[in-house]
Amino acid sequence: MKNIASLNGPLVAAGVVPAEAVPPDHDSSALVADIAVSPECTIRLFSAGDTIFTEGSSADRAYIIESGYVEIFVGSGEDSLQLSVLGPGDIFGEMGIIDAAPRSASAKAICPCRCIVVSAAQVAERIESSSPMVRLFISMSLHRNRAYNAYLKALATPHVGLPRPAVSEKTYAKNQQYQQILDDIKLEADLQNAVRNDELFLVYQPLLNLHNRRVIGFESLLRWQCPQRGLVNPQQFIALAEETTLILPMGDWILEHSCADLRRFQDQLDRIGQSSADFFISINISVRQFQQPDFFDRLMACTQRHQVKAQQIKLEVTERVFLDEIEAIDSIGKCRAAGFEVSLDDFGTGYSSLNYLERCEIDCLKIDRSFIQKLCTSDRAKILVSAIIDIARQLGLPTVAEGIETPAQMVALQAMGCEIGQGFLFSHPLPLTEALGLVGQPLAIAPVNPA
Ligand code: C2E
Ligand code: CA
Ligand code: CA
């Protein structure tokens, strides 16, 4: 057997994977004993000289050495090459259980060994729940590691020749999932610059009193005009921002600008001689924002900076916020105690726990537009919307119907006792200057344009 230290020469392994795969064969049966410590944890004992697994065999477990030493090598007999000797605390055999490829090296006990077995299923669960980007990075490094092993083996057996580049890294580039991951990474990088480079802006969609059609407030909605991509769909970039921590600087930006714009709405109401007492701005707040320990303090500081009142701000949250998010629920409590109203957005689409209604931790229900859209075509949707409005009324909570697109939907909602409406029937989201012109006005019903 050769030792890795005896090899020299340039390593040019990138882009190469082990060329030949020996037919699958499971890990050694030469073990002395399996001891089930718990359903998830088994200990394996090996004697000196036992083969634990061989190159090319299929991998269904990894090992953590508790005691003893294990040799990892490629090739066999005279041509074998030692890659490493591992001891207590070291892990081996993990590569194959991560990507289900055959073993790219063999393992042998040098002396009596006691190892903890980690099953492929245990690892698979964790990998599946990780982000696609993490999975891609792991897969790439395994790929390179295997190529490196194959290269070392080829150097140890010069008569065999260097391995063929069976799977080049360029193969990744053709994979659709890989492209999607790369696109997301690029989108994230562009989005990081968006706040810094002033590429975000807010638009305002009016909320109306459904009985007299007067505009009583606006929902602020975020837009991103990316220099390279154009106007990016909010559902695409906000979902990404919420998966990462990017939503936090973006959330601060949204609060700052929504409060500054609320000040301008108030000035407009003053100018036209109307009271601004009942006027409000609804701001969408994500769970991560509410989870920040200082969210409430930041919100208060922001309202003071712009001289706007808590009573004129509604915070829109989704049902997700009530899903074991203790910090978020605490934050909501503080905001409500200070006079901010909390609206439950997209009601009926989330986790449908009615606990928060029983504890009455909110001030308003916003019925999801998927129900409103079916209101005049599905009896079931009609029954559900009517029941939601009834429950809310009995709890003393107003309801907002979002996504009203037709006069028939509006009439049905009025008849059911829904107080507030929003939707393309009245207006699309508008730039601030146009929205300022609508405050306090009754709105004519607009023809419906596709968004
Ligand atoms: P959302 O909070 O449910 O916002 C309402 C969405 O419904 C808006 O989409 C609005 O343009 C759209 N909409 C309003 N009326 C109608 C209608 O009659 N028909 C149809 N088909 N759609 C209607 P938008 O602006 O694309 O926002 C999508 C989602 O992105 C929002 O859903 C919200 O979850 C998120 N979002 C938008 N702005 C912000 C923000 O400032 N902060 C956070 N955290 N999320 C935001
Ligand atoms: Ca909303
Ligand atoms: Ca909504």
Q: Which atom of ligand 1 is nearest to the CA of 202?
A: 41
Nearest to 342 by CA among 372, 384, 307, 299: 299
- Between the CA of 317 and the centroid of ligand 2 the distance, in Å, is 7
* Ligand 1 atom with the shortest distance to the CA of 424: 18
CB of 401 closer than 6 angstroms to any ligand 1 atom: no
Own/partner long-range contacts of 253-256 (Cβ < 8 Å, ≥24 apart): 253/195, 253/200, 254/202, 254/220, 254/222, 254/283, 254/284, 255/283, 255/298, 255/299, 255/302, 256/302, 256/305
Ligand 1 probe mutation, 250, 342, 402, most atoms within 8 A of CB: 402
206-263 tens-digit pLDDT: 999 999 999 999 999 999 999 999 999 999 999 999 988 899 999 999 999 999 999 9
CB 328 within 8 A of CB 342: no
Probe residue for ligand 1, chosen from 191, 284, 313 as the CB with the greatest number of ligand atoms within 8 Å: 284
| Confidence tier at 14 by pLDDT (50, 70, 90) | very low
Task: Using the atom order of ligand 1, give the atom closest to the CA of residue 242.
Answer: 44
Taking the centre of ligand 3 as the mean of its atom positions, its distance from the CA of residue 129, in whole angstroms, is 27
Domains of the chain from N-terminus onward: 2-131 (2.60.120.10), 181-436 (3.20.20.450)
Ligand 1 lined by 421 (C-beta under 6 Å) = no
Which of 291, 418, 304 has the alpha carbon at shortest distance from 367? 418
Strands of 70-74's sheet in order across: 2-3, 81-86, 70-74, 106-109, 51-53
**Predicted TM-score (pTM) of this structure:** 0.75
Least confident piece of the model among 38-42, 132-136, 299-303: 38-42
Angle, alpha carbons 23-135-194 (nearest 5°) = 155
- pLDDT for residue 353: 66
Mean pLDDT of the chain: 84
34-53 per-residue burial string, b: 16 or more CB within 10 A, e: under 16: eeeeeeeebbbbbeeebbbb
Output the residue whose Cα is nearest ligand 1's atom 22. Answer: 403
Q: Which ligand is nearest to the CA of 349?
A: 3
Q: Is the CB of 254 under 6 A from ligand 1?
A: yes
The pLDDT score that the predictor gives to residue 173 is 65
Q: Looking at residue 319, what is its pLDDT?
A: 86
pLDDT for the residue numbered 28: 56
